[in-house]
Amino acid sequence: MPKVVAISHYAGTMLLLLAGIACLRGIGRWTNPQYIQFITILEDAHRYGTPEHKKKLASYNFDFRSWPVDFRWDEFTSRSDSGNVPLLRSEPKHRSAINGFLHAVKKLPCQIASFIVAHTFGRRMLYPGSVYLLQKALMPMLLQGQARLAEEYKGRRAKLAACDGNEIDTIFVDRRETLEPQGRKLVVCCEGNAGFYEVGCISTPLDAGYSVLGWNHPGFAGSTGVPLPQNEANAMDVVMQYAIHRLGFLPEDIILYAWSIGGFTATWAAMSYSDVSAVILDASFDDLVPLALKVMPESWRSLVTRTVRQYLNLNNAEQLCKYQGPVLLVRRTKDEIITTTVPEDIMSNRGNNLLLKLLQHRYPKIMTEEGLRIVREWLEASTPMEEASMYSHYEVEDEWCLSVLKSYQAEEGDEFPWSVGEDMTLDGRRQLALFLARKHLQNFEATHCTPLPPQEFHLPWSL
């Protein structure tokens, strides 16, 4: 009994101390004229929401959860419900009612295991930027990046409310008033799995003179939620609506630029907003499963595959093939992240698979077995000299390839897949395969995390 009394005494003392500290902090704040001014501006921003109030509010550094919502997903959408945006999903196998029930019971333990893996360490391995300790360590750098974007580039921060209730932290740099023509184009940047707009790939199009819209994944910095594929797509949807309806950019003036895992949201947006001008995927991949299997024990193969397909399915290639516009893939020749063996093995880079799947979908008559073989041979080249040697070996005539493609386009239209190459010689199909591969993929001699220089930021080729 005396021990219980002593513990309660200590607990009561601690509570009194904490209450006293809270009171002192409150008194200190409310006697501070700068804090009173901040609270007044914050309340006015919530009440009126004018650009002037938001501009004043942006000069303060505070918890973004208190920032007023600037744009909601349902302000301009024609969707009547508040459900999630659609994702591409594989068709379920048809079974009878009894067989379906028995199959579900049999698979229940596996389903539970997959759910636990995905929602514990799985999503944190996939999106390490959502881990609190990492964000805490990076906070000084993030604050410095925010200040730089606001002061040097006149960046405008905004909070967007997605259809799942998550709040997305964004930054917009407007270059439309400049004399540079690229300033009238908006580059929407999709960061990597440990990337933040404050210090991420946004710097490349910024330095190249474009208007830029950056945003943070759910659970990253000022964005709320957790970075699962459905939440990612919901976030990208409200970002695109904000760019079109609030910022006033036409879809034809929007370029989607993604680095690494950001390729998922960029390809989802390209599939869902098919009128966007172009897609640029830097150091991205076709499918998550091979990369997940690379880092997990072989004995976990079936569990990893099932977990990814059901909860973490980043099917970039499948989504990209739904897009009809210009695409450029940037392949890092020393990439250590999206290779399935070692960085020196350039043929294990999953960017190769992304290119092959895209070309196979768009030009099936050219990308036959021989076409695939030729392009794979070209992909083995890791230097400009090796590429040029391969190109000259097969005597590729660029002008002839262009004329063939333009003639087909004039007769049959733009919509993919094309049947060009159907009645062509083997040599002609080889030339077209190499020509198209070269137009859709750009090599960059660097590792995965090396920032892409602005001079390497090129718009995709189009007829």
Predicted local confidence at residue 329, as pLDDT: 98
- Coil, helix or strand for 198? coil
What does the block give as tokens for 109?
């333990």
- Coil, helix or strand for 219? coil
End-to-end, the C-alpha distance of the chain in Å comes to 86
CB 335 within 8 A of CB 283: yes
Q: Kindly list the domain boundaries of the chain, sorted by start residue.
A: 27-60, 65-77+102-325, 335-462
Confidence of residue 362 (pLDDT cuts 50, 70, 90): very high
Radius of gyration of the chain (CA): 26
Q: Whole-angstrom Cα distance, residue 262 to residue 251?
A: 19
Give the architecture-level CATH label for domain 65-77+102-325: 3-Layer(aba) Sandwich (3.40)
Q: Is the pLDDT of residue 1 over 80?
A: no
pTM of the model: 0.91
Q: Give per-residue pLDDT as tens, 212-253.
A: 999 999 999 999 999 999 999 999 999 999 999 999 999 999
Predicted local confidence at residue 98, as pLDDT: 57
Q: Regarding predicted confidence, which is higher, 98 or 384?
A: 384
Residues 62-66: contacts with CB within 8 Å, 24+ apart? Answer: 62/38, 64/159, 64/169, 64/221, 64/222, 65/167, 65/222, 65/224, 66/42
How many angstroms separate the Cα of 219 from the Cα of each of 163, 224, 378? 15, 5, 40
